[in-house]
Amino acid sequence: MSSEPTETDEQQDPLAEHEQQLNDLLLDVEGPDAPDAESHLSGLGLDVSRRGLMKAGAAAGAIGAFAGCAGLQGGGANTEAKGGSGDVPDHMVPPGEHDEYYGFWSGGHSGEIRVMGLPSMRELTRIPVFNPEPAKGYGFDNETSEMLDDAGGYTWGDSHHPNLSETGGEYDGRYIFVNDKANGRVARVNLKYFETDAIVDIPNVQSVHGCCIQSPDTEYVFANGEFRTPLPNDGRDVNNPEEYVSLFSAIDPETMDVRWQVKVDGNLDIVDSDKDGRWVLSSAYNDEEGVEIEEMTKDDRDSVKAFDVPAIQELVDAGEGTEVDGIPVIDGTESSKHNSGDDPIVRYIPTPKSPHCVEVTPDGKYGMVAGKLSPTVSIIDIEKLESASDPADTIIGQPKVGLGPLHTTYDGRGNAYTSLFIDSQVVKWDIEAAVNAEKGSEEPILGKIDVHYNPGHIQAVQAMSSEPTGDWLVVLNKLSKDRFLPVGPIYPDNDQLVYIGNDKDNDAGGMELVSDHPVYPEPHDAVFAQKDKLDPATTWEPEDYEGEKEYISEDASTVERIDDSTVEVKTSVKRSEFGLRDFTVQEGDEVRLTATNIEGSKDIVHGMAIPEHNVNLALAPKDTREVTFTADKPGVYWIYCTYFCSALHLEMRSRMIVEPED
């Protein structure tokens, strides 16, 4: 073990380096005449800057939990949970009672969607999307394994941005759409069954970052291609980065086919739609089109892209696209002929470099682009996108909110909430005050609270629809550091629940931190809907798969040899019996197994596992699943139920008898 003085040296070095990075960054983004951008911890009762506090703490050897270049020590009087102050509703939901909201989290590396209740933050279920998952048998039956195979056959995805479908600007409870950053895909989750029912592997695109639906009626799903590659990426131009492009893709939400793509300059990042079905805004970086970080951040400005969707659709309909891998691609680069006239199809709006995210206000008036490297949020006036002769004029406000602004959300009362990654805070600010204030003003700020630590996405309830309800806010912190029992060197993230229903004239603007929740890394974003927006099925309705799969009743349980090497096995499943007590096949046979859970009672789920054959079906009541496998090892195999279904669950068996070849 190292001696104490050495540890202190080690702590100071990265801290000093981090300080220097911050100073360089601010100088770089704002110029030498930039006003002081440090935020202040007024809650300490002293006018102490965060960075000053951090330095002092380090000098005293007080920062034990310093972790990584972005880490900052939490502290200050406004960091503690204040759930007991009397005017914050209880976030604990009593036993047997339900939450008010559904929350849908992207699972990050797991490729799944996680469903939680708000405000309790209890995990209700998980929906596998890009990942095979045994409990729901996803990727084990023929239908879902073929869907995963057709979507590229990858065994993981990096899900980032879940989006609820809308009708009339309101969540309609039909679908969630979510992207896979790792493999350039978008999936659709059916909210009747909470099951992924389609995945599109987007042609010509390697990585999808931003993903959103078109408001108000989900006529398209949009996907931002982040990584620039040659078009098509088939080996041509690999050493000519100037030929690499990013593509913006429009997907049909019903067929999940890609309708068209738009080629743009720079890398596309996050995306959001206006509320009228016309403009879609994308944050972007690397307008320099560099391939190394120094090149990507060389210039002072990057351009947000505003896509005029009906105008693009018109060009596609007129056959103006160049077909690549079956998809019409429209040239939307800044120098394109489609952008040279008075009605460009893509407006390039310059913002301070490398901004992150766009979130449109629930009333559809503004798109907020957080500065990331700049301590500001740029407010884009959506109405001006059509009329402004200079796209820069569409930015009608630019409040200075704090260090590392990444994402913004809304309460429906005219307030915005922005996560501050570097400051480890949430800042609440007044939208109209920011529009009316000088650019760079801190006046619109209503309050700040510390969060733990380094927040990324931030979402208030129903803020992505036109019906924000403004009581709860979730902050998805990237680091948890000292907040939980240590569990080895890969830490959980920390999702924090904040009550925002009170607008108070205090340091926190009325925001109150209510609870911490460790999360398995790494969800990126979440979206929330009031419970009555959804109406999930409690059992399957067999007519929903009529003609695709055969419903196997008890009387229809049979074994039939189709040919020399193929056997069809059909079985019903109920408490506590499989419709077939046993079935016999020959070594080497292909077995086509169809199983129906004939139960009519909700929550009576059966499983059907066959040891040593990788067969694992999850059968909800009235559901039917098919699986095809080869019985290549002679012997007796005990088929068992994997869901505890009754007192005789353990005895619920069937036998597969595989007779040896002669």
Partner 1 sequence: MTDELTFAPKRIEVEAGTTVTWKNVGSIGHSVTAYGEEIPDGASYFASGDFESEQAASDAYPDEGNVTEGGSYEHTFETKGEYKYYCIPHEMNGMVGYVKVV
> Shortest CA distance to 345 belongs to which of 371, 309, 299?
309
Residue 555 touches partner 1, criterion: CB under 8 A: yes
Please state the closest distance from residue 576 (CB atom) to partner 1, in A: 6
Distance CA 194, CA 296 (A): 40
Please state the closest distance from residue 98 (CB atom) to partner 1, in A: 23
Q: Looking at beta carbons only, is 92 or 604 nearer to partner 1?
A: 604
Distance CA 504, CA 223 (A): 39
Contact with partner 1 (CB under 8 A) among 168, 600, 611, 660: 600
Please state the closest distance from residue 620 (CB atom) to partner 1, in A: 13
Please state the closest distance from residue 141 (CB atom) to partner 1, in A: 21
Segment lying near partner 1 (by CB under 8 A), choices 217-225, 360-368, 430-438, 547-555? 547-555
> Shortest CA distance to 444 belongs to which of 399, 395, 502, 503?
399
Q: Could you check whether the bond before residue 344 is cis, i.e. omega within 30 degrees of 0?
A: no
Please state the closest distance from residue 211 (CB atom) to partner 1, in A: 40
Distance CA 39, CA 442 (A): 10
Q: Looking at beta carbons only, is 64 or 600 nearer to partner 1?
A: 600
Q: Looking at beta carbons only, is 331 or 577 nearer to partner 1?
A: 577
Give the Å distances, CA to CA, from 90 to 86, 334, 411, 502, 515.
9, 52, 19, 14, 11
Segment lying near partner 1 (by CB under 8 A), choices 160-168, 218-226, 549-557, 653-661? 549-557
Q: Looking at beta carbons only, is 8 or 576 nearer to partner 1?
A: 576
Residue 448 touches partner 1, criterion: CB under 8 A: no
Residues 633-662 within binding reach of partner 1 (CB under 8 A): 646-648
Total number of residues that touch partner 1 (CB under 8 A): 18
Distance CA 488, CA 505 (A): 41
> Shortest CA distance to 327 belongs to which of 247, 266, 269?
247
DSSP state string for 253-274: TTT--EEEEEEESSEEEEEEE-
Residue 623 touches partner 1, criterion: CB under 8 A: no
Q: State the binding string over 570-599 for partner 1 (x if CB under 8 A, else -).
A: ----xxxx---x----------------xx
DSSP state string for 11-72: HHHHHHHHHHHHHHHHHHHH-TTPPP---B-GGGTS--BHHHHHHHHHHTT--S---STT--
Indicate the burial class of 543 (C-beta count within 10 angstroms; 0-12, 13-18, 19 or more): exposed
Please state the closest distance from residue 589 (CB atom) to partner 1, in A: 24
Please state the closest distance from residue 231 (CB atom) to partner 1, in A: 54
Please state the closest distance from residue 163 (CB atom) to partner 1, in A: 36
Please state the closest distance from residue 621 (CB atom) to partner 1, in A: 8
Q: Looking at beta carbons only, is 367 or 607 nearer to partner 1?
A: 607
Segment lying near partner 1 (by CB under 8 A), choices 6-14, 272-280, 485-493, 551-559? 551-559
Contact with partner 1 (CB under 8 A) among 554, 560, 603, 632: 554
Q: Looking at beta carbons only, is 16 or 648 nearer to partner 1?
A: 648
Residue 553 touches partner 1, criterion: CB under 8 A: yes
How many other C-beta atoms can be found within 10 angstroms of the C-beta atom of residue 32? 6
Distance CA 427, CA 639 (A): 57
Please state the closest distance from residue 578 (CB atom) to partner 1, in A: 10
Q: Looking at beta carbons only, is 362 or 621 nearer to partner 1?
A: 621
Residue 601 touches partner 1, criterion: CB under 8 A: yes
Please state the closest distance from residue 618 (CB atom) to partner 1, in A: 18
- At 327, is the secondary structure helix, strand, or coil? strand
Cα angle 592, 593, 594 (rounded to 5 degrees) comes to 125
Which two three-digit tokens encode residue 311?
């105008």
Which two three-digit tokens encode residue 52?
């000053």
Helix (H) or strand (E) holding 582: strand 582-586
Q: State the binding string over 494-533 for partner 1 (x if CB under 8 A, else -).
A: ----------------------------------------
Indicate the burial class of 199 (C-beta count within 10 angstroms; 0-12, 13-18, 19 or more): buried
Residue 109 touches partner 1, criterion: CB under 8 A: no
Residue 604 touches partner 1, criterion: CB under 8 A: yes
Q: Looking at beta carbons only, is 229 or 596 nearer to partner 1?
A: 596
How many other C-beta atoms can be found within 10 angstroms of the C-beta atom of residue 135? 14
Distance CA 383, CA 362 (A): 14
Q: List interacting residues with partner 1 (CB under 8 A).
A: 553-555, 574-577, 581, 598-601, 604, 621-622, 646-648
